Amino acid sequence: MMRWRRSWLACAALCAAALTCTAGARPAAAAGTTPAVHAALGRLWLGAAWYPEQWPESRWPKDLALMEAAGINVVRVDEFAWSTLEPQPGDYHFGWLARAIAAAARHHIYVVIGTPTDAPPVWLTNRYPQVLRIHADGRPAQHGNRRQFSYASPLYRKFCRDIVTRLAKRFGHNPDVIGWQIDNEYTNESYGPAAHRQFQQWLKRRFRSLAALNRAWTTAYWSQTYTAWNQIPLNDRPGNPGLMLAHRQFVTATWLSYQRNQLEALRAHIAPWQFVTTNIGGLGWSAHWNHYTITRPLDIAAWDDYVGEGQLDFYRNGAMSDFIRGLKRQDYWVMETQPGFVDWAPICNSLVKGGVRAMTWESIGHGADAVLFWQWRSALGGQEQYHGTLVGPDGKPEPLYAEIVRIGREFKRASQVIAGTTPRSQVALLLSYASRWAIDFQRQSVRYRQLDVLLDYYRPLEDLTHSVDIVSARAPLQRYKIVFAPSLNVISAKLARHLRRYVLGGGVLVLGPRSGMKDRYNRLNVERQPGPLVPLLGGRVQQYYALVSRVSVSGSMGRGTGRIWAEALTPHSSATRVLLRYGAGNAWLSGTPAALEHRYGRGAIIYLGTILNRRLMHAFVAHRLAAAGVRSPFGVLPRGVELMRRVGDGREVVIIINHGKRLRAVRLPYAMHDVLHPGRILRTVRLRSQGVAVLERPSIS
């Protein structure tokens, strides 16, 4: 169990006294224990990104008073402030940050410090141009933006470690600092000489010999065979699939070592009750690096939740929230949330009135313990002047501020009810970064978009169970009755053994199209799909086809169509059952199985070889859930209504949101307490558009 969680146990005796405290006030506790008590309580945190270095110090009290009035109890600071912290080499100015933290504390607001390494000062990049990131075309990045550094530069890491160490020594035991965020949205890799040499050295450590590398990458194809390590290229162009997969894995390893450099500096000096995280950008679904690997050594996972253009798609946003929760299989933080609108979308429209509140509560329902908005106040200059904020450049509240006040009031009421609860699922969706990368390298169809395929599975699972985990394919699976793997393209021998144990033990594994085509090196498996899982399935894929038009599909669960991708399956065992077949007139697919099922050990494996239309997909998922004994007491909800469950300590908390435009009613299976309206007990919930209900069932088995 991680060090931050361990520290909770040490302060358990203090929790009882603190339980009477409201979410907006400090609990009475012994000196130096306050942050640990708050961590142990698992309270709800509402916050914003605050940049005190951009404003006169005389303005701070007014901003902080407005934050306190809105119920904000945490701010993230400092992640872009290096030039203010160290305006000249070795000239450190930390006093302003200490005063800002103290000023926030006077308004009952805690602080998360962001390490400032995403935006190095100009003196550093001018004096040491070798730290600049090199684009794939050989051009160096220029100062004047952010992320212009090379993540592989040893010299840049030296400067990073110095500033982070000094910050940790100064604020690592400050009782008003509850956590640290390393850097900001790891994004851009470098293709410079340092990164190139490190890539070749990384390959040498991994393969140990050129013969092994050549064999793994099948370099005899097109005379790609390497006879020296320094011959291996580093670029962003399509090429050998093995090299491309290795590059993505190297990028992950390099960001991991970049992060470790700062993580070690922090943990050498900060108190155990201060957590460490980093914030994942790219709308959650970015594939620059393996999110599971990067978040593993951190205390909590965190991400930046944005919609961009349009309105909230609660299925997509819910899936991304579940994905972030699954990185460490525990509750998480939202370090940045869209405050109405952004400045980087094709059309930077605002979310509808009430949409920010609905989005915030959706995050809580899916396992967030904190939601922070980016940013508090509009910057007068810089590249993000038009981005939405809670307070305008004049320091006066924007129209959205009233919505934040309402959220803050609701968080205060719900904090103690939600404390200690988390989503708990009987079903999971499995992901693999090797598979994501392998398919993206060779999509075969521009319409095969992996997030869309994931959502095809997620929507019916969410509708029917109201709680879905999205986890690594290598995660422990014993707790799940059934798991779905939509595009598990790369199945190594080790992963195959892991999945086989799950099925033998009584689990149900549902594989989607393109599963098991590749091995760990991104080579084609010698066996046809699903590769090493063919013996479990008692069948295989005969051939795969990228579709130009839809094909008919039918079976005991109904009729529909397959689209984008279709695989003709062949059973090898009399015990293998055909669940779906392609209809006549589908050329190579006519009459062939589209889905197989095989009982194996105490469990079962199902292979679905196409992407079904929504109605048939819903029927397919419902059929599989029923067979696995998975059901929700809340049944089917009205269209546009989302229901989420958090459980813990014998309590059940249910959050219901009406994302639609019409009044909706939800009949509850049992009476529940209305948390946002104390004293009310409900059996039916009625919600207007963007309405939110938070309900508690105090005693469950």
481 and 527 share one domain: yes
From residue 284, alpha-carbon distances to 307, 324, 363, 366, 526 in Å are 11, 7, 13, 14, 34
Structure tokens at 109: 């607001």
CA distance 501 to 478: 9
CA distance 174 to 169: 10
Which pLDDT score is estimated for 701? 54
Query: Which CATH number does the domain housing residue 648 bear?
Result: 2.60.40.1180
CA distance 513 to 210: 34
CA distance 370 to 362: 12
Asked if residue 634 belongs to a domain, the reply is no
Asked if residue 635 belongs to a domain, the reply is no
pTM: 0.93
Which pLDDT score is estimated for 174? 97
Asked if residue 50 belongs to a domain, the reply is yes
Q: What is the pLDDT of residues 520-578, one digit of tens each?
A: 999 999 999 999 999 999 999 999 999 999 999 999 999 999 999 999 999 999 999 99
Number of residues that this document lists for the chain: 701
676 and 549 share one domain: no
Structure tokens at 451: 């997030």
Q: What is the pLDDT of residues 69-88, one digit of tens each?
A: 999 999 999 999 999 999 99
Instruction: Please state at what angle helix 154-171 crosses helix 95-105, rounded to 10 degrees.
Output: 50
Which pLDDT score is estimated for 42? 66
Average pLDDT rounded to a whole number, residues 357-364: 98
Q: Which residues pair with 431 in a beta bridge?
A: 472
| Burial of 238 (C-beta count, 10 Å sphere; 0-12/13-18/19+) | exposed
- Which residues form the catalytic set? 185, 336
CB atoms < 10 A from the CB of 268, how many?
11
| Closest listed residue to residue 321, CA positions, set 468, 222, 431, 209 | 468
Q: Are strands 551-555 and 641-648 parallel, antiparallel or unpaired?
A: unpaired
- Give the percent of the chain with pLDDT over 70: 94
Residues 6+ apart with CB under 8 A from 379: 51, 54, 385, 393
108 and 253 share one domain: yes
**Least confident stretch, 279-293, 337-351, 417-431:** 279-293
496 and 404 share one domain: no
Residues 6+ apart with CB under 8 A from 41: 15, 18, 19, 415, 416, 419
Average pLDDT rounded to a whole number, residues 296-315: 97
Listed in sequence order, the DSSP H helices in 378-525 are 401-418, 433-441, 450-465, 493-504
Q: Are 72 and 49 in contact (CB under 8 A)?
A: no
Query: Quick one: the chain helix, strand, coil %, rounded to 5?
Result: 35, 25, 40
Q: Are 192 and 134 in contact (CB under 8 A)?
A: yes
pLDDT of 406 strictly over 60? yes
Asked if residue 74 belongs to a domain, the reply is yes
Query: Which CATH number does the domain housing residue 167 bear?
Result: 3.20.20.80
Q: Are 611 and 456 in contact (CB under 8 A)?
A: yes
Residues 6+ apart with CB under 8 A from 518: 434, 435, 438, 489, 490, 491, 524, 525, 531
CA distance 517 to 667: 45
CA distance 547 to 560: 15
CA distance 101 to 167: 13
Q: What is the dihedral of CA 512, 516, 522, 528, to 10 degrees?
A: -120
Average pLDDT rounded to a whole number, residues 676-694: 97
363 and 476 share one domain: no
295 and 375 share one domain: yes
Q: What is the pLDDT of residues 35-53, one digit of tens each?
A: 433 443 468 999 999 999 9
From residue 682, alpha-carbon distances to 270, 313, 362, 679 in Å are 46, 28, 21, 10
pLDDT of 311 strictly over 90? yes
Q: What is the pLDDT of residues 200-216, one digit of tens each?
A: 999 999 999 999 999 99
CA distance 489 to 492: 10
Q: Are 623 and 557 in contact (CB under 8 A)?
A: yes
**Least confident stretch, 20-29, 582-591, 594-603, 612-621:** 20-29
Computed over every residue of the chain, the mean pLDDT equals 93
Residues 6+ apart with CB under 8 A from 197: none
CA distance 271 to 185: 24
Domain, as residue range, for 161: 3-196+200-210+215-418
Asked if residue 633 belongs to a domain, the reply is no
| Closest listed residue to residue 438, CA positions, set 657, 263, 241 | 241
63 and 105 share one domain: yes
Q: Are 329 and 366 in contact (CB under 8 A)?
A: no
Task: Quote the strand ranges of 250-331, DSSP E.
Answer: 275-277, 279-280, 302-305
Q: Please, which pLDDT band fits residue 282 given cuts at 50, 70 and 90? A: confident
Average pLDDT rounded to a whole number, residues 579-605: 95
279 φ, ψ (degrees, to nearest 5): -105, 130
Q: Which of 598, 628, 658 is the last residue of a domain?
A: 628
368 and 489 share one domain: no
Stated as kind and residue range, the H or E segment containing 554 is strand 551-555
pLDDT of 32 strictly over 70? no
Q: Are strands 332-337 and 302-305 parallel, antiparallel or unpaired?
A: parallel
Asked if residue 377 belongs to a domain, the reply is yes
Instruction: Classify the C-alpha dihedral 183-187-192-197 as positive or negative.
Output: positive
Query: How many domains would you assign to the chain?
Result: 3
Q: Which of 374, 395, 418 is the last residue of a domain?
A: 418
Q: What is the pLDDT of residues 326-359, one digit of tens each?
A: 999 999 999 999 999 999 999 999 999 999 999 9
Query: Which CATH number does the domain housing residue 588 bear?
Result: 3.40.50.880
Q: What is the pLDDT of residues 598-655, one digit of tens each?
A: 999 999 999 999 999 999 999 999 999 999 999 999 999 999 999 999 999 889 999 9
Asked if residue 321 belongs to a domain, the reply is yes
649 and 599 share one domain: no
Which pLDDT score is estimated for 22? 34
Write the Ramachandran bin of 310: left for phi over 0, alpha for psi from -120 to 50, otherwise beta. left
What is the Cβ-side half-sphere exposure of residue 576, based on CA atoms within 13 angstroms?
20
CA distance 247 to 570: 35
CA distance 317 to 304: 11
pLDDT of 15 strictly over 70? no
pLDDT of 318 strictly over 90? yes
Q: Is 69 helix (H, G, I), strand (E, B) or coil?
A: helix
Cβ-count burial 128-153 (b if 16+ within 10 Å, e if not): beebbbbeeeeebbebeebbbbbbbb
366 and 478 share one domain: no
Structure tokens at 535: 């013996």
Q: Which residues pair with 603 in a beta bridge?
A: 600
| Closest listed residue to residue 693, CA positions, set 458, 504, 443, 417 | 417
Average pLDDT rounded to a whole number, residues 92-100: 98
455 and 485 share one domain: yes
From residue 353, alpha-carbon distances to 340, 348, 476, 578 in Å are 9, 15, 41, 49
350 and 443 share one domain: no
Which pLDDT score is estimated for 336? 97
Q: Which of 418, 449, 470 is the last residue of a domain?
A: 418
Q: Please, which pLDDT band fits residue 283 given cuts at 50, 70 and 90? A: confident
Question: Taking the mean position of all CA atoms in its chain, how far away is CA 464?
Answer: 22
DSSP category for residue 684: E
Question: Taking the mean position of all CA atoms in its chain, how far away is CA 94?
Answer: 33
